[in-house]
Structure 1
Amino acid sequence: MVRLSIAAFVALAASLVSAVVPNSPRFDLSKPSYDLFRHKTLHDDTVQQGFAFDNVNRRLFVAQRRNGATAASGDLCITQLDFSGKYLGHMHLTGFGHGVSFGAQADGSATYLWTEVDANKNGYGQQLARFKFVNGKTLSKSSSSLKKYKPVAAGTEHTCAVDTVNNRLVVRYQKSGGKHIAVYSLAAATKGDFSAPLANFTQPLPATKGKSFQGYTAYGRYLYLLWGDSYDASNGVLNSQVASVDMNTGRVTQGPVITRAGSTLSFREPEGMALYRTADGQVRLFMGFASGKAGDRRSNLFYKNAMV
């Protein structure tokens, strides 16, 4: 009979327990949305994509394709705004990806961004990068100031979001012809350790009746997903939808629910989701929308704060 030491037994027992995302409240997607700002100008004049908050240093960043870049180039502009939508600065990224989602992480008074990098022929990043936001700087995908990660070895595309309240990195990756979600401790991911995901599952609702996938984020136990098309693409029909998913089961908990946030905007294309907790402790689920005419696209952010 094989006898295990106490330490070995504890290690074996731990390995047999499935990691889980701790329980948390959930946003009620049927409740109204509120404005943070409307019609704000970014550094470049293209449609916004994802956006992210540094919850410690109270900063906001918005991604968009760089002016003049092709969809396959992966060339992005990251604009920093204040919470009234005033322009504060920008960075340019060359060969990174599409920008559908990214994350921000405080490191003292500095903000480090987590983005996709190494755009493939379709313009989507094959792995992740972490780098310091420096106003006015241009980074290429081969810059020595980047730290690169490939959380899922078999994944062919990676994007991410940050649960800014619980300090977790949420990774959406392509594998075996479908999209999957994995959740990691942000501290462990920063060290390059992706060995112990809290959750790892196939994304439900890969498409909602042909609507474009437009963003995701997470708060605690729940993942939030956004789909929809601009009024130009939908012939004026409001078709933006949101849904929540229990990351411990991979099953939909609410939705898809039509969101009317910013329904009167011109163009109105849903673009990005992010999480933020205010200084007084209110947790907000944000959705972004692009508005305006070609050559003068604008940024619009709305949030939900009702919980169940």
Structure 2
Amino acid sequence: MGRPSRRQVLRRAAGLTGAALLGSAVLSSAGTATAAVATSKRFDLADSSTEWFREIWLQDVRILQSFSFDNTNKHLYTAQLVQAGRHLPGEARTYTGTERETNGDLCITRLDWQGYIIGRMYLKGFGHGVSIAAEPSGNSAYLWTETAAVPDGNNVGYGTKIARFKFTNGAVLTPNSHLVTTYDPVPGSDHNTVAVDPVNSRLAVRHRLSGTWKINLYDLATFRSGTFTPLATITQPSVLTGVTFQGYTTFGQYLYTLDGTAYTYDSAGNRTSDSNTYLTSVDWNTGTVVQRSLSKAGESLFYREPEGLAIQIPDTSNPAAARLHIGLGSEESLTLTDKMASFYFKDVLV
């Protein structure tokens, strides 16, 4: 499918009119694992990838960080860090890209499944956007993201809690907005992010506690009510140690992760590296790595950085026809560096 031009995207986009909002609720509880995850098929990560969108524009021009599907309304939600120079309502000045990254300021874009922008909102002080989740509601959706960002040793803001809020076109939210419900499933943890299994109505929450990375799986409705009893807990597999973690999602019995870095180039624009993008599947019940496969999806893209995983259900009456989507960020050249987003999927279950 061809990508919309920048002019087409802007013509179809609605204006930003929201203002910062205040006040919120916090839910916090604790629990222990009490149930195994039912067996299911898994995606064959060695299967070839199919292109869905190649190089479409998002609201801001920084790299795609993550994405999630509203399969009911056929919407795609993406997360980016806010671009340098963006002046949001209520701000006294513009900020650099580095300042936005330190503060954890995110841009959320809503697109239709033709690749056109149909809404956007901004989140100030939420985090880095490594993973987000969409929960359909009526003709819109609630979004789950990290929130309450704290800068790490590299001055990059990452969330310390989880947030849920209704997507509101044009809004600018802060962590203490009355429109935001905040959850603290693992008190004292940092680098909190969230992913959704849209078929089985489950949430996965990745976090770091005392230097150890873990991913918990929850029933979505139970988590939403404020009871944080994991269905399963995985300590991040050692195969992911020392790599650049770029996203994750969950579907049935399996956790899926994405890691890798962007292509590198010399001063003449010649590529000096090959793909190091890997997909990994992990059994929720045992923590065992079931498959790890190199991905060359979108290998002809310039720059090409892996960014996010999500589950798409093209036909909600047939959830078995699920797709595991890989997000990729790219740019046109060494001098034309505004980032575009591409999406490729795998759909073979074994």
Deviation at 1:232, TM superposition (A): 2.5
Shift of residue 109, structure 1, vs aligned partner:
2.5
Q: Which residue of 2 aligns with 1:300?
A: 342
The separation in 1 between residues aligned to 2:288 and 2:231, in whole angstroms, is 16
Range 298-307 or range 280-289, more displaced = 280-289
> In the TM superposition, what whole-angstrom CA distance separates every residue of 1:130-161 from its partner, at most 9, and x where no partner exists?
00001111111221111000111242331000
Structure 1 contact 36–83 (Cα < 8 Å) conserved: no
Cross-structure match for 1:118: 148
Quote the residue 1:274 is aligned against.
310
1:1-308 equivalences in 2 (<5 Å): 18-68=34-84, 69-70=97-98, 71-122=101-152, 123-194=157-228, 196-205=229-238, 207=240, 210-232=242-264, 235-255=272-292, 257-279=293-315, 281=318, 282-293=321-332, 295-308=337-350
Q: CA deviation at 1:270?
A: 0.1
CA distance, structure 2, for counterparts of residue 206 and residue 214 of structure 1: 14
Question: For the Cα contact (< 8 Å) 1:44–1:64, is it kept in 2?
Answer: yes
Residues 88, 190 of structure 1: alpha-carbon distance in 2 compared, 3 angstrom cutoff: same
TM-score norm. by structure 2 comes to 0.80
What amino acid does structure 1 have at the position aligned with 2:255? L
Query: C-alpha displacement at 1:206, in angstroms?
Result: 5.8
The CA deviation at 1:107 is 2.1
Residue identity (%): 44
Gaps of 5+ in 2: 1-30, 85-96, 266-270
Deviation at 1:87, TM superposition (A): 1.2
**Letter of the 1:116 counterpart:** E
Residues 83 and 205 of structure 1, relative CA distance in 2, 3 Å threshold = farther
Report the CA distance between 1:73 and its aligned residue: 1.5
Deviations 1:49-104 (A, max 9, x none): 01001122221101000011322220000011112211111111100000010100
1:231 and 1:268 in contact (8 A); partners too? yes
How far the C-alpha of 1:231 sits from its partner, in A, is: 0.5
Are residues 17 and 261 of structure 1, via their aligned partners in 2, closer, same or farther at CA, if it must alter by over 3 Å?
closer
Gaps of 5+ in 1: 1-14
- Deviation of residue 125 (structure 1)? 0.3
Structure 1 residues 266, 187: closer, same or farther in 2, change over 3 A? Answer: same
Retained in 2: the 8 A contact 1:36–1:84? no
Shift of 1:18: 3.8
Mapped partners of 1:81, 1:87: distance in 2:
4
- Closer/same/farther in 2, CA of residues 206 and 24 from structure 1, 3 Å limit: same
CA-to-aligned-CA distance 1:253-304 (integer Å, 9 cap, x gap): 111x100100000100000000111116210001000011464100100100
Q: Is the 8 A contact 1:31 1:304 kept in 2?
A: yes
- SS at the partner of 2:222? helix
Q: Cα RMSD (Å) of the superposition?
A: 1.8
Counterpart of 2:177 in 1: which secondary structure?
Answer: coil
SS in 2 for 1:23: coil
Greater fraction of residues in strand: 1
Write the letter of the residue equivalent to 2:291. Q
Query: Partner letter of residue 201 of structure 1?
Result: I
Task: Tell me the amino acid that sits aligned with residue 301 of structure 1.
Answer: F
CA contact 1:289–1:301 (8 Å) conserved in 2: yes
Match for 1:276: what amino acid? Q
Aligned partners of 1:206 and 1:94: how far apart in 2? 33
Amino acid at match of 1:56: T
Give, in whole Å, the separation in 1 of the partners of 2:33 and 2:126.
37
Letter paired with 1:108: G
Aligned positions, number: 291
One-letter identity of the residue aligned with 1:44: D
1:174-212 CA-partner distances (Å, limit 9, x unpaired): 112121010111011111111x2100121113635x431
2-side partners of 1:84 and 1:264: how far apart?
22
| 1:17 positional shift | 8.9
User: Partners of 1:247 and 1:278 in 2: how far apart?
Assistant: 25
